[in-house]
Structure 1
Amino acid sequence: MAAIPEPAVADSDTRPTLKTIAAATGLAIATVSRALKDAPDIGEETKRRVRETAALLGYRPNRAGVRLRTGKTNVIALVLSTETDIMNHTSRLIYSIANALRGTAYHLVVMPFFPDQDPMEPIRYIVETESADGIILNQTKEDDPRIRYMHEHGFPFAAHGRTAMGIDHPFFDFDNEAYGRLGARTLAERGRRRLLLVPPPRAHMYARHMTFGFSDEAALLGVPFEVAEGVTSDSGGEAVEAAITARFSQPNPPDGILVGSTTAAMAAIAGAERTGRVLGRDFDLVAKEAIAVLRRFRQDVLIVREDVGRAGEFLARALVAEIDKRDWAERQGLEVPVKVEQGRPARMGGTQ
C-alpha cells in the first residue's frame, strides 16, 4: 500500500480529490469512487481502507460538482412529525439511520413538520426542488397521499410502516397486530379481566393493526375490553394521565392496560396511581419501548422491546439500494414481537 501523504496535504489550498485517495491507497480512481459509494462489488476491507484514507486526508466530495456530474445530491431526507415520541422512538430512529449511512456517499437531513402543517408540504418541497435523492418517512396511513405522490413521481422512498394501497416499495415495520395480541394475552394470563387499549392516532396504519390484534385476541380469550376515547398514545402526558384518572374513577375500571408509546405508558400509570391503584397489584400495563426507560420509572411495567435501531439501518440500506437502482433482496422487513419482559408476578387485591 502506498504511503499516506502527510496531513499537511489536507490543510493545503488544494482540496483532496478521488485522485489523491487513489494515489495514497494504490487503487484505481474508479475503485475509490465505488468504495465511497458502498458499492456491493467492492470488498469490505477495501472500503474500510478507502474510508480511513479519505478521513485522514480530510476528503469531502464537492456536492455542486457531484450534482452536475450525476444529478444527485447524496442527501437522504428523513421527514418526521413533531408529534412523535421523541424521547424514545424517534431519537433512536434518527441515530440508527445516520449510523447506517456512515462511510457511504450519503448524508442525512431531518425535516420536521408540525401538527398544523399539511404532511404533503415537506414531501412536495423535496421532490420538486430535488433537494434530496430519497425520503424516509413514518406514521404511514392506510391510504397515504405522500406515498402515492412519490410513487407517481418515481421518487425513491422507504417507509417505516405499511399501507393498504397495493404499492410495492421498501418498508420496515413493527408488527403491531402481534404486539396487540401478545399484550392482551399476557394481561389475561396475569389474571386481568377488564382490558383497556390506549392506541396510536386512528389515522395511522399501525393503530389499525394494534387495535385489531388487541380486540380480536381479547374477544378470543373472552375478556371484556375497551378502547380509549378522546385520547391516543400521542396525545401528550397530561391528556393521557387525565383520561386514565377519569376512567379509573368510574365504576368497573380496567385492570389491564396496553399502550402505544412510552410517554403514554408513564402517563397512564400516573393517572391510575392518582386514584390509589398500585401497579402490579391493582392493575398491569404493557408498553413497548426502543430505549430502556420504563423500568427506571416503575419496576412492574410489562415491556415489549422494539428494535428501532434495526428498523433505521434496514430503511437506510434499502433506500440507498433503491436510489442506486441496485437489486436488494431485503426490500421489506417486519419485526414480530414474541416476548413480554415480565415484572414481578401479579399481586392481586387492593382497592378495586
Structure 2
Amino acid sequence: MRPDGEEPCHIVIEAIVGWSGGCYAPDGAGRMDRDQTEKDDEASAHERPTLKTLAFMTGLGVTTVSRALKDAPEIGAETRRRVQLVARQIGYRPNRAGVRLRTGKTNVISLVLNTEREIMSFVSDIIYGVSEVIADTPYHLIVTPYSRSQDPLDPVKYLVESGSADGVIISRTQPNDPRARYMLERGIPFATHGRTDMGLVHPYHDFDNYAFAAEAVRHLASVGRRRLALVAPPVGLTYYDHTVNGFADALSEVDASEVPFNAVSIDQSIDQIRTRTAQLMRRDVRPDGFVSSAAAATLAIVAGIEDAGLKLGRDVDVVSKQSSELLHLFRRELLIVNEDFRLAGTELARAVLGWIGGAAPGSLQTVVKPGDVVAYQG
C-alpha cells in the first residue's frame, strides 16, 4: 500500500465474449459487470480490514484514521506514520465501491486490446509501460480484450455505458475511428495508439511509420537492392496508410521498383506469410529486398525465403521493425529498426491521466521518429 493509503496499481484482465451486455470471466464464472463488481466489494468488506478496524487497533477515531491515511497535514506526523504502519501490517485496502460512491470515480484505466491480432510482445510491453506510470497513482489497469468476430466499438461502449473506467486506451486506430468519435462525443478521457484523420483533437502516441518505411527503402537501395516488396500492416488502420505512403514515396526517390505483395499483411498467420513468401520468391521476377512491419512476420518471411532455396543477405535483404532484441538472435543478416512499445504504454498512460487531470487534449500528442537501420554488430 502507498503511504497515502491509496491502493497500489494492479492489473485485471476482463474477457468480453458474446456481447450480451456485460463482461464475463475467462472461466465462465459469470457476469463481471459493474453491479457484480460492487457486490463483490461489499461482500469482501466483511472479510478484510476496514477503517473501523484501523480505528479500533490504533485507538483513534474513524475520521482521524481516514485523514491520516491521506497524509492530511492537520494530522500529526507521528499519528500518520503509526496509522499507515498498522494499515500495512494488517493489509488494509480502501473499498473501491465506497471510493466510487464518494467521488464518482472508478480509479480505473482500461486498455482495450484485440488480443487475437496483437503480438504478445506488444501486449506485455504496452501493459508494462502503462503500469509504470500508474504505479504511484490511485489508478488500476484493466485490460479489456475482444475478439476479431466482435465490433471494436462494443467493448468501448460497454466501458462508457457501465461507467467502468475513468479513462480508456485503444490500439489498432483507424483514420475515421468510430471509437474515438464516440468517446469524444461523451467526454470520456482516452488516448489512441496511432493517429486518426478525422479533424478531431484527442491525445495519441504514434511511431512514425512513414519515416520507417521510407528509411527502410533508402537503406535497401544503398546496398544495391532495387526490386522491393512490402509486408504491410492490415488495410484500414491508419499506420497502413502511413507505411504504404512512405514506402511508395521513397521508391520514387531512389528509383527502385515495387514487387507487389498485396496478398499478405502482418495480421496473417506465420504459416500463411511463409507459404506466400516462398511462392513469391520462386517467381522469375522476385524481390531482392523486403520491408517488414512486424518481427513475427519477419520470421515467416525468412522461412519462406529459405524454403525457396535462397539465402538471406546474399540473394535478398530484409529490413524489419522489432520491439525486442530478438531478430539478430534468429538471423544475423537481418536489418533492424527498433520500436519501443513500452515507451508507447508510458506515453499513452501519461496522456490519459493528463486529460483526466485537466490538460488540453491537443497538448497530449506524441510521435516518435524511428532510429537508424541497424545491422548486426558481432
Normalising by structure 1, report the TM-score.
Answer: 0.83
- Which secondary structure does the structure 1 equivalent of 2:142 belong to? strand
Deviation string, structure 1 residues 97-138 (Cα, Å, up to 9, x no partner): 122110211000101111111111101100100111111001
Amino acid at match of 2:219: T
> Residue 53 of structure 2 corresponds to which residue in structure 1?
14
- Which secondary structure does the structure 1 equivalent of 2:160 belong to? helix
Cα displacement (A) at 1:58: 3.4
Query: Is structure 2 residue 73 aligned with structure 1 residue 28?
Result: yes
Mapped partners of 2:155, 2:127: distance in 1: 17
Mapped partners of 1:135, 1:253: distance in 2: 44
Contact conserved, 1:177 with 1:212, CA < 8 A, in 2?
yes
Mapped partners of 1:217, 1:156: distance in 2: 37
Contact conserved, 1:21 with 1:54, CA < 8 A, in 2?
no
Aligned-pair identity (%): 41
Contact conserved, 2:289 with 2:316, CA < 8 A, in 1?
yes
Amino acid at match of 2:53: T
Contact conserved, 1:89 with 1:291, CA < 8 A, in 2?
no
Matches within 5 A, 1:151-166: 151-166=184-199
Query: Is structure 2 residue 349 aligned with structure 1 residue 319?
Result: no
Match of 2:276 among 243, 248, 256: 243
Match of 1:286 among 319, 324, 328: 319
Cα displacement (A) at 1:314: 1.1
Match of 1:82 among 112, 115, 122: 115
Pair 1:25–1:304, CA change in 2 (3 A) = same
- Which secondary structure does the structure 2 equivalent of 1:239 belong to? helix
Query: Is structure 2 residue 204 aligned with structure 1 residue 171?
Result: yes
> Residue 142 of structure 1 corresponds to which residue in structure 2?
175
Amino acid at match of 1:301: L
Contact conserved, 1:261 with 1:288, CA < 8 A, in 2?
yes
Cα displacement (A) at 1:60: 2.2
Cα displacement (A) at 1:88: 2.2
> Residue 223 of structure 2 corresponds to which residue in structure 1?
190
Query: Is structure 2 residue 271 aligned with structure 1 residue 225?
Result: no
Mapped partners of 2:341, 2:172: distance in 1: 14
Cα displacement (A) at 1:84: 3.3
> Residue 202 of structure 1 corresponds to which residue in structure 2?
235
Query: Is structure 2 residue 105 aligned with structure 1 residue 66?
Result: no
Mapped partners of 2:119, 2:126: distance in 1: 10
Mapped partners of 1:231, 1:27: distance in 2: 59
Cα displacement (A) at 1:249: 0.9
Pair 1:245–1:64, CA change in 2 (3 A) = same
Tell me how large the CA RMSD over aligned residues is: 2.9
Deviation string, structure 1 residues 35-77 (Cα, Å, up to 9, x no partner): xxxxxxxxxxxxxxx9999756634222111111111100111
Cα displacement (A) at 1:15: 5.1
Amino acid at match of 1:216: D
Contact conserved, 1:85 with 1:262, CA < 8 A, in 2?
no
Mapped partners of 2:74, 2:284: distance in 1: 74
Contact conserved, 2:203 with 2:362, CA < 8 A, in 1?
no
Aligned pairs, number? 320
Mapped partners of 1:99, 1:227: distance in 2: 41
> Residue 47 of structure 1 corresponds to which residue in structure 2?
none
For structure 2, the 5+ residue unaligned runs are 1-47, 56-61, 78-82
Match of 2:286 among 239, 245, 253: 253
Contact conserved, 1:84 with 1:90, CA < 8 A, in 2?
no
Contact conserved, 2:204 with 2:365, CA < 8 A, in 1?
yes
Pair 1:51–1:26, CA change in 2 (3 A) = closer
Contact conserved, 1:92 with 1:291, CA < 8 A, in 2?
no
Normalising by structure 2, report the TM-score.
Answer: 0.78
Contact conserved, 1:89 with 1:289, CA < 8 A, in 2?
no
> Residue 136 of structure 2 corresponds to which residue in structure 1?
103
Deviation string, structure 1 residues 210-256 (Cα, Å, up to 9, x no partner): 01001110111100113422220111101111110110011111011
Pair 1:323–1:298, CA change in 2 (3 A) = same
Query: Is structure 2 residue 117 aligned with structure 1 residue 114?
Result: no
> Residue 298 of structure 1 corresponds to which residue in structure 2?
331
